[in-house]
Structure 1
Amino acid sequence: MGEVVGGRYELTESIGKGGMAQVWRARDLVISRDVAVKFLRSDFVNLQQLDTRERLAEHDVLRARFRREATLLRRLDHHGIPELYDQGSHQGMPYLVMRLVTGVTLHKFLAQYAPLPLTVAVAVAVQVADAMACAHTLPVVHRDLKPQNVMISDEGVIALLDFGIAKPLGIDVTQYTRHGSTLGSRGYQAPEQILEKEPTTRTDIYSFGCVCYELFAGRPPFVMDETRGLVEQHLKVDPLPPGLYAAGVPEELDDLMLRMLAKDPEQRPTVDEVLDVLSPLGPHPGDPEPQPRLRPDPTAPLRQPRDSPVERQSQAPAFPTAPDPYTDADGEWLNAHALEVLCAAAEREIHEGDPDDAVRHLAGLADRARAEWGSRRPLVRRIWELAAEGLRLAGDCGGAARFYQGIADDLIRGDGPQERADRAVLRLRVAECRLAFGEIEAAIGVVEVAGHVAAGLPMSLASQVEKVRREVDTDIAERLADPGAAQG
């Protein structure tokens, strides 16, 4: 203690130590605030079991993964994910400086208060899911969701910690895991993690399902018994509904938990679908404090007015609200001419292959345009199409998929040849975007259906569908040919 790191961070106490890292509370001497400083451990126990050459190689992997954690934290902008302030190296060991979250882990909270009242359990689950939604939109898979990596701050705000083994999804992502080295924590690993298969955002859903099961049932979905170990149960045994272990669990939560814990990733819901079920069951602004009182109280942020810092952020990309140039003189309604000019600017950005401000402004205005002008106005569809295409080219797969799906579901009228071709192309684009989330089997199904649609279309329309279908099919083939990207 008392050691100064990077010329400004004075270490005051060790507050956490895991397998690969150690976290210290520190005082930022420059701006007088407490921060968390995370060091990569040089005494990582697994390294001691390797020979010298393997130890050096593994240490390089750990350093690379540590650097990747810093990169991810810079991109993850959510109140439930501690932001990165600084990084560097001290005495040869890399470190990260992050926002300090004071409170208790969910693991300790459950040990003290379980079984939890339903609204308290939902309040925790909703806040964790909201942070997950931010990560999944990039898309990034956390890969180590467990109660020890969830912190409840003194104010009741949930923080999702430790992105040390998190991984961005994509075929060009560097692999940082040896074959035979299974990532995740025992009792919370999805079947595909145990089997060393490719992780997707649905992998996090399984781990989160295990956490939620503890929240609602007061116990894990599987426990050791005399006949079957935990691994075998996670691979082969279907869990019982949590309502069998705890009174007052609604049927919709029983159903949600079983879907989240499905062995097949494709059968699990997305994080947005999870939030759709959980949110109505949680506390609302103005609700009374739970009795008996909890310290900390995870319902507090959700019981505050809607302008409180904790709001659901997963419904739409966090783009700027409409600036004055795109509204009328009173700032009350959108200005159609200004939006047409913005569309032209977005088209130029897309044509030049560099989607930027115009595309982001359009994406931020798309929902408002549809609400004000309805779904039949051609300008609304043009805005949505440009937003979708621009976000796809910019790499925002989650945002692009939402717009493509919205066009296919709500902005296309009729069922003539042109409409069928348009829907096929849009659904192919959705599948292409979802590939970034590892949803390969679903994309294969969409490609097959698009082929059948194209076969029944006039040649000019069929060629439009076939062009996109071949692009997505090629993307699928590349991902299937690169299974090594599964671990990283």
Structure 2
Amino acid sequence: MDTGSQEIRTGEIVGGRYELAEPIGKGGMAQVWRARDPTEERDVAVKFLRPDAEDLSRLDTRERLEELDMLRARFRREATLLGRLDHPGIPELYGHGSHQGMPYFAMRLVSGSTLHRFLSRHAPLPLTVASAVAAQVADALVCAHTLPVVHRDLKPQNIMISEEGPTVLIDFGIAKPLSNGVTQYTRHGSTLGSRGYQAPEQILEKEPTARTDIYSFGCVCYELFTGRPPFVTDETKGLIEQHLRDDPLPPGLYAAGIPEALDSLILRMLAKDPERRPAIGEVLDSLHPLTPRPEDPEPRPTPHPDPTAPFRLPQIAPAERRPRVSVSTTPGRDGEWLDARSVERVCEEAECELVRGSPDAAARHLTELADRARAEWGSRRPLVRRVWELAAEGLRLSGDCGGAARLYQGIADDLIRGEEPQERADRMMLRLRVAECRLAFGEIEAAIGTVEDAGRVAAGLPTPLAGEVEDVRREVDLDITERLAGPDAAHV
């Protein structure tokens, strides 16, 4: 039986669990349904592999079977990737299987508006609104690129702004792990990606890298901040020719108020040479200062959905990502406030684990509690910083560089206030830890810049604090030296 030969109907039970409610999306290879999961009392999205029979009918029998095999393999890979990508800005996988001969997987349902529809209603966007969307997408890409996975189809249609405001990167249908030896699921002569957002190397059918996503994201950012794409078809040139050969005009020519640094960043993201594009960590670092701060007023006019809400109101987060752990191991049941004494006990246990050099249950527990503690207690309570620091150290020592970098950056940006010598030293050491974590996915030049900054900061600090910064600086500098001396140095 060919995939896609069965009709799917409302009310069917998939996998003995998901009751189909209504179709909510369809493409050439898949159809997505809204379904109800009574076990967890939530709505979910169920995606079925249903290749377009009309497209396949143009192929001969052998080619058609090969295409079906490739689509099935790609579909399985998408489910596998969602199971590995753990980030609130990426839908998580709930389950997978086969229904009436059709592969399916269930994932978090994101209700809201695509960025494409959002821009059609609200463009041009205020700077803070555009920055809020861009920073959330960049944060999700940091997670993907750390795995490392390249999305390969970044465009406004694949970015959702949920009803509550968080922005989510969706549709990893053509995403590809960048590990050596990964099977290719692409026919020769087929160009993956979407017209108007493809990097030059995609158009030329060259091997994608993480910098391929940076180009596509640059196209999205250009549109976010200016209300128009970097290139449009005209009487003399088509889109493909412009993406291959032309440099876009600076975004600031189309929209007032774009900072010069942002103007330069977006143009670098759109460089034809992938090596000239910034890494996603640098993009996120550049966007973050432009986003709203906690308790800032809502933008005027206020869009719906409002992507600034997660920054202005940190308690807003996708419900499915809030910690769900047993009462016996968590300080505070779901729906109850955290108990400070219980959290302090977990911190003490985590400190013992870190002294032994083997982060375990307590350190993992603090990772689950970090965002919740920040939302309930705010940024000024010392216990919140202690939770974040221990959680970050646990993730770093466990090898989760992306998760650790996010927490270190959050401490530096939101939990340390003031410019006294101690605060300056702490902030610099956190920046060094962020740089160290991002070395894991190739950001050597950015790390070198941070090490140089650390030397200058240390020179202006009292001797004891300067020594603390120097200790971390030398540690990161040694890591950089070892990586540059390694077999992959020539590819940096």
Q: TM-score scaled to structure 2, two decimals?
A: 0.68
- The whole-number CA distance in structure 1 between the counterparts of 2:169 and 2:486 is 34
- What are the equivalent positions in structure 2 for 1:60-459 lying under 5 Å apart? 60-304=69-313, 306-309=314-317, 346=358, 391=399, 433-434=440-441
Greater RCO, CA 8 A, separation 6+? 1
- The whole-number CA distance in structure 1 between the counterparts of 2:290 and 2:438 is 31
Q: State the shift of 1:257 in Å.
A: 0.8
Q: State the shift of 1:401 in Å.
A: 10
> Number of aligned pairs?
394
- The whole-number CA distance in structure 1 between the counterparts of 2:175 and 2:285 is 25
- The whole-number CA distance in structure 2 between the counterparts of 1:94 and 1:387 is 34
Q: State the shift of 1:30 in Å.
A: 3.5
Distance change (3 Å), C-alpha of 1:190 and 1:45: farther
Residue of structure 1 in register with 2:474 after alignment: none
- The whole-number CA distance in structure 1 between the counterparts of 2:395 and 2:134 is 31
Residue of structure 2 in register with 1:37 after alignment: 46
Q: State the shift of 1:433 in Å.
A: 4.3
Residue of structure 2 in register with 1:53 after alignment: 62
For 1:81-111, what per-residue CA distance to the aligned partner results, in whole angstroms no more than 9, with x for missing partners?
1111111111111011111111111111111
- The whole-number CA distance in structure 1 between the counterparts of 2:485 and 2:59 is 44
Which one-letter code corresponds to 2:159 in the other structure? Answer: V
Distance change (3 Å), C-alpha of 1:71 and 1:109: same
Residue of structure 1 in register with 2:10 after alignment: 2
- The whole-number CA distance in structure 2 between the counterparts of 1:341 and 1:220 is 50
Asked if structure 2 preserves the Cα contact closer than 8 Å seen for 1:80 and 1:158, the reply is yes
Q: Structure 1 residue runs of 4+, over 6 Å off?
A: 332-335, 337-341, 355-364, 386-390, 399-402, 429-432, 467-471
SS at the partner of 2:57? Answer: helix
Q: Does 1:21 align with 2:30?
A: yes
Identity of aligned residues (%): 67
5+ residue gaps in structure 1? 314-322, 324-328, 347-354, 365-371, 373-382, 403-428, 443-463, 481-488
Distance change (3 Å), C-alpha of 1:263 and 1:470: closer
Distance change (3 Å), C-alpha of 1:299 and 1:388: closer
Please give the root-mean-square deviation of Cα atoms over the aligned residues, in Å.
4.4
SS at the partner of 1:49? Answer: coil
For 1:109-144, what per-residue CA distance to the aligned partner results, in whole angstroms no more than 9, with x for missing partners?
111111111111111111111111111111111110
Q: TM-score scaled to structure 1, two decimals?
A: 0.69
- The whole-number CA distance in structure 2 between the counterparts of 1:94 and 1:122 is 38
- The whole-number CA distance in structure 2 between the counterparts of 1:333 and 1:12 is 43
Which one-letter code corresponds to 2:169 in the other structure? Answer: L
5+ residue gaps in structure 2? 1-8, 322-330, 332-341, 369-381, 383-391, 407-435, 446-477
SS at the partner of 2:198? Answer: coil
